[in-house]
Amino acid sequence: MDCKNRSEIVIINETQDSDMSEIFGSVDHIGDNKAYDELHLSSPVLYKVSIESGMISLPQVSLINDRLRPDMLKSDSVYILDCWNDVFLWYGRESQKIVKEAARRVSNQIQRLFSRSHCEPTQMIQEGNEGYVFRSHFFGWDDLLEIGPKKVIPASKAKKLLTHEDFSLPKMEIENIFLTKQESLTDEHCETLLEAIEDYLDRMDCFVFENKTFNKLPDCERGHFYSNECYVFLCKMSIPEPLDDEDDEDEESNVKYNTKYRVFFWEGRSCSHTGFLTFAFTLKLKFESCFGDKLTVERIKQQQEPLEFLALFHPKFVIHRGSRKPPKTENASPRLYEIRNMMGMLTLRCVEIDLDPRLLCSRLHYILYVPKSEGGIIYLWIGKSANTNERNAADLIAQSLDMNNCFSILNAKENEEPDEFWNILGGKKEYDTEGSFLDFVRLFRCTNESGYYAMKEKYSDFCQDDLIQDDMMLLDDGKRIYLWEGQKASDIEVALTKKLAPVYAQNCKSLKVGYDREILYVKSEEEPIEFRRVFQGFDSRQIDSKFRK
């Protein structure tokens, strides 16, 4: 307050007579309020907000010598600072959006825990934008900004280190590049799992998140998912207990069943995290109170579904882009879908793709959905080398897209398409007539997140969300090896992946797997059409959901 150092500062005790009594009057009428002093005069309380298994926890941060210090605030976390009359919500630059939303709701509840005489609304504070009042609660917060020349370390030093002839890493995990491709699921294995789900499943209730609440999903939409939406599926299952050796396995009367309840929370690639937060505070709590320890909850993401979840809808598993109910002002536009299994019959999905004829493949089935003012046409494109076992599934999926029974379904065999088919796609263009990538495709993640460099093969049922922006990725389609660089990949990851790619190519050649590989370098958001077609439903507008959020 005293900017020019001209004022005199006087310290006065409460019982001491002074000139202040002439200004403010007598203070004899002020009594002691022990309850107020106990809470109001105590040190501020700092809580760390975390979400584990769908539950929100607020552990209190331990103080150092009864003092708050700035280094207690971590960039990847969210904190609530309760100063009695003020409640602050501080979030770091690397914190998750869902945790911030949960902390905002919890902070309002904290204000109502005690009967406070006055409390300001919760103040949201981002890391680096802390005000003076917030900083004043922390001991040793340095407000001075160090101004001076900074020493810049060029990134090329890492590359020079790696290319030095005497350089060697203490540990590397690259044995995966010398292993053979993962085997696809056999039809017998898929049939066994389908039969088990059919036998165990007693009932399934489906809900969709709309208008900030969960509502019943219409029966006609079962098996249809939208990338902007999230869904909840409550499955009641009767699972038989294992029989003892002494029991007669032929007598069904001796079989005992345990009732289990399994909840799947499915979220699309572009959906808001508000849906899961609402689920955690509403439906999940109701299910837990009703079913207790018989309940298990699993959160799954688009195109990363487990086999038991896919079995619930097989073969009609359709993923649309956008929302269930688009704005009425939006004109309905054609949609193109690709029907494909990534590693077996049970992983068969029908996923909407870009409206680009170059994405067609002669070994697959496609559906062109063409709405019109009254009704419309659904074209089922049948590749000349398409799997005949998937034809029945393609027919069922095409019929399920006609939810209002107002579309006509036309089969369009390859090289026998009507002119309208190609006109809607923007004209006939060259596309993949071999589809060899379906037999040889492999995806490796090249990372040093564990403190050492490792090349880890991804599960064969992968999607574009498996492209991690912090790492390098190696994609093999049988003819080409793509070295994909994420936007945050380190120089070490880039340099080592470039050195190991020829080793992988030479190993494929010695094993006579596929063709002689050509090594290509690709950066994020610059993927060519040959790269994108390998990922089912690759959306060029959303390179990586985690990086966007």
Taking 90 as the threshold, does the pLDDT of residue 84 lie above it?
Answer: no
- What distance in Å separates the CA atoms of residue 335 and residue 318, rounded to the nearest whole number? 12
Report the SS3 class of residue 535: coil
| More confident position, 217 or 245 | 217
* Predicted pLDDT at 371: 93
* Predicted pLDDT at 431: 96
- Give the mean model confidence (pLDDT) for residues 145-173: 55
- Give the mean model confidence (pLDDT) for residues 136-154: 58
| More confident position, 149 or 357 | 357
| More confident position, 374 or 499 | 499
Instruction: State pLDDT tens for residues 397-409.
Output: 999 999 888 999 9
Task: Tokens 């904190």: give the residue.
Answer: 79
Q: Measured on CA atoms in the order 125, 126, 132, 135, is the torsion positive or negative? A: positive
Taking 60 as the threshold, does the pLDDT of residue 153 lie above it?
Answer: no
Taking 60 as the threshold, does the pLDDT of residue 548 lie above it?
Answer: no
- Residue intervals of the chain classified under CATH 3.40.20.10 are 45-137, 187-241+256-320, 335-425, 436-544
* Predicted pLDDT at 18: 66
Give phi and psi for 506, each to the nearest 5.
Answer: -70, -35
- Give the mean model confidence (pLDDT) for residues 275-301: 94
CA 90 to chain centre: 24
- Give the mean model confidence (pLDDT) for residues 448-455: 91
Q: Which residues pair with 90 in a beta bridge?
A: 79, 125
* Predicted pLDDT at 38: 47
Taking 60 as the threshold, does the pLDDT of residue 506 lie above it?
Answer: yes
* Predicted pLDDT at 42: 57
**Which architecture does CATH list for 436-544?**
3-Layer(aba) Sandwich (3.40)
* Predicted pLDDT at 229: 96
How close are the terminal C-alpha atoms of the chain, in Å? 43
Report the SS3 class of residue 20: helix
* Predicted pLDDT at 549: 40
527 pLDDT band (50/70/90 cuts)?
very high
CA 462 to chain centre: 14
- What distance in Å separates the CA atoms of residue 336 and residue 363, rounded to the nearest whole number? 16
Taking 70 as the threshold, does the pLDDT of residue 369 lie above it?
Answer: yes
Residues in contact with 223: Cβ distance below 8 Å, sequence separation at least 6, in sequence order: 313, 316, 317, 318, 400
* Token couple for 365: 């089935």
- Give the mean model confidence (pLDDT) for residues 182-198: 92
In 293-406 the beta strands, taken as DSSP E runs, fall at: 295-301, 318-320, 335-341, 348-353, 365-371, 376-382
* Predicted pLDDT at 171: 77
* Predicted pLDDT at 316: 95
- Give the mean model confidence (pLDDT) for residues 384-396: 95
* Predicted pLDDT at 71: 86
* Predicted pLDDT at 163: 59
483 pLDDT band (50/70/90 cuts)?
very high
Taking 70 as the threshold, does the pLDDT of residue 167 lie above it?
Answer: no
* Predicted pLDDT at 40: 47
* Predicted pLDDT at 67: 80
215 pLDDT band (50/70/90 cuts)?
very high
Residues in contact with 449: Cβ distance below 8 Å, sequence separation at least 6, in sequence order: 470, 471
Residue 47: name the closest of 117, 121, 112, 106 by CA. Answer: 106
Between CA 214 and CA 220, with CA 218 as vertex, the angle to 5 degrees is: 145
CATH number 3.40.640.10 is the correct assignment for the domain at 335-425: no
* Predicted pLDDT at 149: 47
The highest-confidence range among 20-29, 70-79, 206-215, by mean pLDDT, is 206-215
Among 115-119, 150-154, 272-276, which is the least confidently predicted range? 150-154
Q: DSSP states of 140-189 as a string? A: T---PPP-S------THHHHHHHHSTT---S-EE-GGGGSPPPPPPPHHH
102 pLDDT band (50/70/90 cuts)?
confident
| More confident position, 14 or 449 | 449
* Predicted pLDDT at 159: 56
Class of domain 45-137: alpha beta
- What distance in Å separates the CA atoms of residue 316 and residue 394, rounded to the nearest whole number? 9
* Predicted pLDDT at 359: 96
- Give the mean model confidence (pLDDT) for residues 14-40: 60
Residue 474: name the closest of 498, 449, 439, 450 by CA. Answer: 498
* Predicted pLDDT at 488: 93
Mean pLDDT of the chain: 85
- Give the mean model confidence (pLDDT) for residues 155-179: 68
- Give the mean model confidence (pLDDT) for residues 492-520: 93
547 pLDDT band (50/70/90 cuts)?
very low
- Give the mean model confidence (pLDDT) for residues 456-474: 94
The highest-confidence range among 115-124, 220-229, 323-332, by mean pLDDT, is 220-229
CATH number 3.30.450.70 is the correct assignment for the domain at 187-241+256-320: no
